[in-house]
Amino acid sequence: MTPRARNGGEDVSPASSFPEYSLEAKTAGIRIILADSEAIFRMGMARIFSGESDLDVVAQADTLPLTLGAVAETPADVILFEAGLSATPAEAVSEVARRAVLPTAKLILVTPPAGEQETVDYLRRGVRGILTRTVSPELLVRCVRKVAAGETWLDKQGVNWVIQAYRSQALQGNAPKQQLRLSEKEMLIISGVTQGLKNKDIAREVGTTEQVVKNYLRKIYDKLQITDRLELALYSMHHRLLDGYIPRPAREQHQRVTGPGEAAETAQAAIVAASPGSRVRPPQAKPQRHDSTSNDG
Amino acid sequence: MKTPTAEYRAKTTDISAGGILFHTESEIAVGSEVEFTIEMPRDVLGTKHPVLVKCQGRVVRFAEETSGRSVAVVIDEYHFERI
């Protein structure tokens, strides 16, 4: 490695002499490390920053190993890291953040337009700003200043994604923990139970035996701390267990075959609707009762 | 809600796996055997169709309240029926 003093765009060295970073740079402004695989962009950014008195490029790197070395040796306030430096940029940004000399160093990721999951993941890993290469010089400078000041820099869509992610996280936090551990097959079986299917029908749908369905149900009961399918149905209602769950196409096919034919047999007694507003209490100790749905199927 | 001798109109006010609390205009004796059907709406259940749960149970409590009469029923037996 060949450390090389420089400060600002005029001193940027050609790509052949990388790595290049300065351990001597002393500045009262925002210290920036530029990590980008393409010299043209790196030099362009350095030139833009050289025109700003409060922005100082203290090191540059064009590979991930050199970037990790630079951030580990050079105190910086902002690290501009290009996603293309790693095949797994999310993991790379974690490593960069971990190795930074200053724990207060802020990471800005330069990446092609990122999707929702990527964006949220980057932010969770410590990225404070996300830019694309198409960013204007003015916005680039503003971004660095804002991020250095502790703010987050995202486009509007990114902000929406992050807000949505936090909402989802909050909802998950309120949901019962057991729900998170229900497997696809268990969800399929729960869906069958709540639709009034008998164990035999569920077994046919899942492609297994009735005994296996019973075993699954026992596991589900244990997880949700309930004792029978009525409680399961009530639990599903109360906790919206099946919200967002998309059953397999086979289920729809099955419903078309068996559903309508059974309709005429129902609704002979006075119907008391469990309205959406009904308050559902947690399961209580109760006497043994008979569930004919599971036994006659 | 049906007993062996009569049929009543009742409104669910509270439901759990242990039992159901109804509001009703009629007086129903404690210990009476009752039949009723719970309709689980599809939008609440998250399913494609509503599901009926036909229940048999017993009245375990009856109370006169200012807001009306309430009947607590414990569920002894039930089965699901698809609509």
Interface ipTM: 0.80
Residues A131 and A116 in one domain: yes
Closest of A223, A239, A243, A124 to residue A174, by C-alpha = A239
Residue burial A196-212, b: 16+ Cβ < 10 Å; e: rest? bbbbebbbbbbeeebeb
Cα gap A125→A147, rounded to integer Å: 15
Residue ranges of alpha helices (H) inside A1-125 are: 39-50, 64-73, 89-99, 116-124
Residues A193 and A132 in one domain: no
CB A85 within 8 A of CB A37: yes
Residue A195 identity: Q
Residues in chain A: 297
pLDDT at A17 exceeding the cut of 60: no
How confident is the model at residue A213, as a pLDDT?
A: 93
Question: Is A266 an interface residue toward B (CB < 8 Å)?
Answer: yes
Cα gap A91→A72, rounded to integer Å: 16
CB-nearest to B52 from A197, A231, A266 is A266
Are residues B81 and A229, on separate chains, in Cβ contact within 8 Å? no
State the pLDDT confidence band at A273, using cuts at 50, 70 and 90: very low
Domain assignment of residue A187, given as a range: 175-259
Instruction: Give the tens place of pLDDT for each residue, A42-98.
Output: 999 999 999 999 999 999 999 999 999 999 888 999 999 999 999 888 889 888 988
Question: Is A271 an interface residue toward B (CB < 8 Å)?
Answer: yes
Residues A64 and A164 in one domain: yes
Q: What CATH number has the domain bearing residue A251? A: 1.10.10.10
Comparing A15 with A242, which gets the higher pLDDT?
A242
Residues A70 and A123 in one domain: yes
Q: How far is B3 from chain A (nearest CA, A)?
A: 11
Residues A17 and A163 in one domain: yes
Are residues A278 and B13, on separate chains, in Cβ contact within 8 Å? yes
User: Crossing angle of helices A39-50/A137-148, nearest 10°?
Assistant: 70
DSSP code for A36: -
**Nearest residue on chain B to A293, alpha-carbon basis:** B79
Average pLDDT over residues A26-37: 84
Question: Is B6 an interface residue toward A (CB < 8 Å)?
Answer: no
CB-nearest to A270 from B1, B13, B43 is B1
